[in-house]
Amino acid sequence: MSKHSLFLDSSALFAGVISANGASRALLLLAEAKLVTITISEQVLAETGRAIVRKVPRALANYRGALRATGLRIVQDPKPDQIETHKDIIAHEANVPIVVAAMQVKTDYLVTFKRRRFIDDPDVAAHSGLRIGTPGDALAWVREALSGT
């Protein structure tokens, strides 16, 4: 297992699956090469699947292939009491389970495109203890980590 661990939310996973390039796609390719480990929760799996079926159903096969090829680790969603304990960690209530799941797996980086909900509120990172950024931010961090600088 890689020592560089990423937790993708549905926005980052969706982008990696439907795009032939970009930072999200690069992160999935790094996971295929076993240079990073990507974890998602059951909620992320379900949200991403629904979004693909609704927006780009032709990409469903790519989604299933990405799940297999990258060796994504899928973890259970946090229990209701765990979510309740951390209900104030992020303003948008639907994202609490994502933050809590990332905290539970002790990921190095929570990757999201939801800047307003996750990144622009510094309290989310401060209270969760997570490094949070866009796929481009995460890719830069992985490159730096892999180069040893």
Q: What are the Cα distances from residue 9, in Å, to 5, 98, 143?
A: 13, 7, 20
Asked whether the beta carbons of 138 and 39 are under 8 A apart, the reply is no
Q: What is the CA radius of gyration of the chain?
A: 14
Of the candidates 94, 92, 86, 93, the one whose C-alpha atom is nearest the C-alpha of residue 130 is 86
DSSP letters, 10-45, are: HHHHHHHHH-SSSHHHHHHHHHHTTSSEEEEEHHHH
pTM over 0.75: yes
Q: Which residue has the higher pLDDT, 127 or 2?
A: 127
Distance (Å, whole) CA 148 – CA 142: 10
The domain defined by 5-147 carries CATH number 3.40.50.300 = no
pLDDT in tens, 22-63: 999 999 999 999 999 999 999 999 999 999 999 999 999 889
| Domain coordinates in residue numbering, the chain | 5-147
Tokens of 17: 């699956």
pLDDT in tens, 79-97: 999 999 999 999 999 999 9
What is the chain's mean pLDDT, rounded? 94
Q: What are the Cα distances from residue 37, in Å, to 7, 28, 110, 116?
A: 8, 9, 12, 26
Asked whether the beta carbons of 100 and 127 are under 8 A apart, the reply is no
